[in-house]
Amino acid sequence: MSDPTILVLASLVGGDKHGYAIMADVEQFASVRLGPGTLYGAIARLEERGWIEPLRPGERRQPYTITGAGREYLESQLAVLERVVKAGTRRLRNA
């Protein structure tokens, strides 16, 4: 699980955060360290697709929030991931 966009969405679904807080949160819950370049690449893509949006634009430590569309996208991706995890676990047991 290393798709930075999913990691950022998963972080923001737990509450609004700014860049460094997202990095720290992702490192804590997924043990993945997002570099600043990767983080802002993901933020730019998510913002462009309307899945996250900035709160109080113009701030140096800009907090972001997940949008309704972002939440739907995250749910669909996590559902796919859940199916993969279930199938993989079942096959591992039978192997």
Partner 1 sequence: MKARIASWLIRLYPAGARRRYGAEIEAVIYDIDARLRWSDLADLLKGALTMPQPVGNWMRAAAILFGTSILCAMAGGYWMARVQAQFVSKALVRFDTGSKVSAINDRLVRALSAAATIELVDKEQIYPGTAGEKAVDLFMRNVRVSPIVTHSGGPAVQMLFVHDDAATAQRALQKVVALALAEPDSGVSAYIDEAPSFPRSRTHRNPDRFFAGAISGCFAGLVLGFAGIRMMRV
Q: Residues in the site for partner 1, rule: CB under 8 A?
A: 18-20, 23, 35-41, 43-45, 48, 60-62
Nearest CB to partner 1, comparing residues 50 and 88:
50
Which is closer to partner 1, CB of 32 or CB of 78? Answer: 32
Query: CB pairs under 8 A, 24+ apart, for 8-12?
Result: 8/34, 8/39, 8/42, 8/43, 8/46, 8/52, 9/46, 9/51, 9/52, 9/66, 9/70, 9/73, 9/74, 9/77, 10/74, 10/78, 12/52, 12/64, 12/65, 12/66, 12/70
Closest approach of Cβ 42 to partner 1, in Å? 10
For partner 1, give the closer residue by CB, 6 or 23.
23
